[in-house]
């Protein structure tokens, strides 16, 4: 059986010790083993990264950008291979896997502009013979801990800006779909990245804790559930590290009475059920305003959801594939039952779905609830599956308060033809990313991604200019070159520009 390696010092490294099963979600069968690292392995990776980082940081930013350009070219050239590898372990359909890779590639494109992004500031003549300037410098060895749902995109969100800035990087991917991160590291070396600058250490909590405690790792970026994000943030910050931790979500789609319902429903189908709902930017809650809107919306949602095709990852006609694991499927099914027990109306039940020839696969059909109440646990929790909940609101003000008062604050969308209402909503809603007639408002690569409340821990967002800020520190230099020789006057007063 295939064993998925680590990638340390520029080469794949077979591990020893504990292993974890890697499943094919389409069949439900184990397809590979991944060796779980430990503190000693992490120490080796950090030592290699620390040694390699010095020369990489000394390389001028234009040459680092050229490596990013070549990495981008290799990603494009190997898109089909990467997408099939990703789908085989995650379960996404191939087109969705290509989207996963493409959104990461776009951050690589942004990182190609690092010569401009690393520029500091300069003030000449700030005082008599005094100039002041600032420079951005890399932190050193940094790390990323990434989730199963985007095994290509999120690692590239992290390591592309980190590497371009001159850092070396330790990546700890999810043990559920660990192959693509190793392949990305191989392509980075092929692109000209020096050996040891990008390392992949497979593992579980033991490696996570070792990363958070290691004194030579200066910053950690994390994406995962909110409880784990809070733990990672607290432990890393206590160790003196710069931390950036993105948590869970419960994104809402507000449907005003004047919305184009056909377009809104088409958007909601992809946002709620795409990738089997396993996205932190999925749209699992829809909020129609007014009973008439709710009645029309429900009718259209049912018709659209009934037409969705669930299939294996390589089925070109499938809208989405299986969920990632048997355990996750069971968890989603338990939430569906909880929704019934809490009194929500189960309009469509996705449990019990079986795909001929793939009966052991981790498949769920679309599930739809109506009359969900904010007091229900199924509304409060992130289900992370193909489950859509309708929460009816009587007014715009009530609809605005639902995402604003929710514990999560990642993304939200509003569907309307009314520009004034959309503007008010975008201004007032207590959520980090807002879509106006856009169901999945993931910002483009030259902006930044980040949620509020329990969806984000830390002061700086992912990628974009915030990514450059997170992976660098500013040094400010005040210099004086006096005319006519050295200055001998003594002063015991703090310098001012008076």
Over 70: is that where the pLDDT of 488 sits?
no
Separation of alpha carbons 184 and 98, rounded Å? 14
pLDDT at residue number 432: 97
Q: Are residues 406 and 258 in the same domain?
A: yes
pLDDT per residue as tens digits for the range 343-373 = 999 999 999 999 999 999 999 999 999 999 9
Which region holds residue 210: left if phi is over 0, alpha if psi is between -120 and 50, else beta? alpha
Q: What is the mean pLDDT of residues 9-16?
A: 92
Q: Are residues 21 and 158 in the same domain?
A: yes
Over 80: is that where the pLDDT of 444 sits?
yes
pLDDT at residue number 487: 60
Q: Are residues 311 and 163 in the same domain?
A: no
Q: What is the mean pLDDT of residues 20-43?
A: 97
> Residue 470: which domain range?
2-247+455-477
Q: In this predicted model, which residue has the larger pLDDT, 128 or 22?
A: 22
Best CA proximity match to 86, nearest among 11, 155, 170: 155
Q: Are residues 113 and 257 in the same domain?
A: no
Q: What is the mean pLDDT of residues 453-476?
A: 96
pLDDT at residue number 486: 63
Separation of alpha carbons 380 and 255, rounded Å? 20
Q: Which residues of 334-371 are buried (b: 16+ CB within 10 A; e: fewer)?
A: ebbeebeeeebeebbbbeeeebeebeebbbbbbbbbbe
Over 90: is that where the pLDDT of 440 sits?
yes
Over 90: is that where the pLDDT of 128 sits?
no
User: According to the 3-state scheme, what is the secondary structure of 407-445?
Assistant: CEECEEEEECCCHHHHHHHHHHCCCCEEEECCCCCCCCC
pLDDT at residue number 493: 78
Best CA proximity match to 280, nearest among 320, 250, 324, 325: 250
Q: Output the domain CATH number for residue 47.
A: 3.40.605.10
Token pair, residue 479, equals 């210099």
Query: Residues of the chain with pLDDT > 90: what percent?
Result: 95
Q: What is the mean pLDDT of residues 174-195?
A: 98
Please identify, among 436, 466, 493, the residue that sits at the C-terminal boundary of a domain. 436
Domain count, the chain: 2
In sequence order, what are the beta bridge partners of 23? 30
- Report the DSSP pairing between strands 6-8 and 11-13: antiparallel
Q: What is the mean pLDDT of residues 378-402?
A: 98
pLDDT at residue number 104: 98
Q: Are residues 107 and 231 in the same domain?
A: yes
pLDDT at residue number 490: 73
pTM: 0.95
Active site residues: 280
């Amino acid at each position: 059986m295939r064993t998925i390696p680590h990638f340390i010092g520029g080469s794949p490294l077979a591990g020893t010790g504990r292993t974890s099963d890697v499943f094919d979600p389409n069949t439900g069968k184990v397809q590979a083993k991944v060796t779980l690292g430990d503190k000693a392995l992490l120490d080796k990776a950090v030592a290699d990264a620390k040694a390699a980082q010095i020369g990489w940081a000394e390389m001028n930013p234009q040459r680092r950008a050229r490596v990013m350009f070549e990495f981008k070219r290799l990603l494009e050239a190997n898109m089909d291979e990467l997408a099939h590898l990703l789908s085989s372990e995650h379960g996404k359909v191939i087109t969705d896997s290509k989207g996963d890779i493409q959104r990461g590639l776009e951050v690589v494109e942004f990182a190609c502009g690092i010569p401009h992004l690393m520029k500091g500031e300069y003030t000449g003549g700030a005082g008599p013979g005094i100039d002041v300037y600032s420079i951005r410098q890399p932190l050193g060895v940094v790390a990323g801990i990434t989730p199963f749902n985007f095994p290509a995109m999120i690692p590239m969100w992290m390591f592309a800006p980190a590497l371009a800035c001159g850092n070396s990087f330790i990546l700890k991917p999810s043990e559920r779909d660990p192959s693509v991160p190793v392949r990305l590291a191989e392509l980075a070396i092929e692109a000209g990245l020096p050996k040891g600058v990008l390392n992949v250490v497979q593992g579980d909590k033991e490696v996570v804790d070792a990363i958070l405690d290691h004194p030579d790792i200066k910053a950690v970026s994390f994406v995962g559930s909110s409880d784990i994000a809070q733990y990672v943030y607290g432990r890393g910050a206590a160790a003196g590290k710069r931390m950036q931790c993105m948590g869970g979500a419960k994104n809402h789609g507000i449907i005003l009475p004047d919305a184009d319902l056909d377009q809104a429903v088409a958007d909601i189908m992809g946002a709620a059920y795409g990738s089997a709902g396993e996205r932190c930017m999925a749209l699992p809650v829809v909020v129609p305003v007014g009973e008439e809107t709710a009645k029309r919306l429900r009718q259209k949602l049912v018709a659209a959801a009934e037409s969705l095709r669930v299939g294996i990852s390589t089925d070109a006609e499938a809208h989405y594939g299986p969920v990632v694991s048997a355990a996750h499927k069971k968890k989603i099914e338990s939430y569906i039952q909880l929704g019934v027990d809490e009194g929500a109306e189960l309009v469509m039940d996705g449990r019990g779905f079986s795909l001929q020839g793939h009966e052991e696969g981790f498949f769920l059909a679309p599930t739809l609830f109506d009359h969900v109440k904010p007091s229900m646990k199924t509304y409060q929790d992130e289900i992370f599956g193909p489950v859509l909940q309708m929460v009816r609101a009587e007014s715009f003000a009530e609809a605005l308060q639902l995402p604003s008062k929710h514990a999560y604050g990642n993304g939200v969308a509003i569907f309307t033809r009314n520009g004034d209402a959309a503007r008010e909503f975008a201004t007032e809603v207590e959520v980090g990313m807002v879509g106006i007639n856009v169901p999945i408002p993931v910002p483009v690569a030259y902006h930044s991604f980040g949620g509020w409340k329990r969806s984000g821990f830390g002061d700086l967002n992912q990628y974009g200019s915030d990514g450059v800020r997170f992976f660098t520190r500013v040094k400010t230099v005040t210099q004086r070159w006096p005319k006519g020789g050295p200055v001998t006057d003594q002063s015991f007063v703090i310098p001012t520009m008076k």
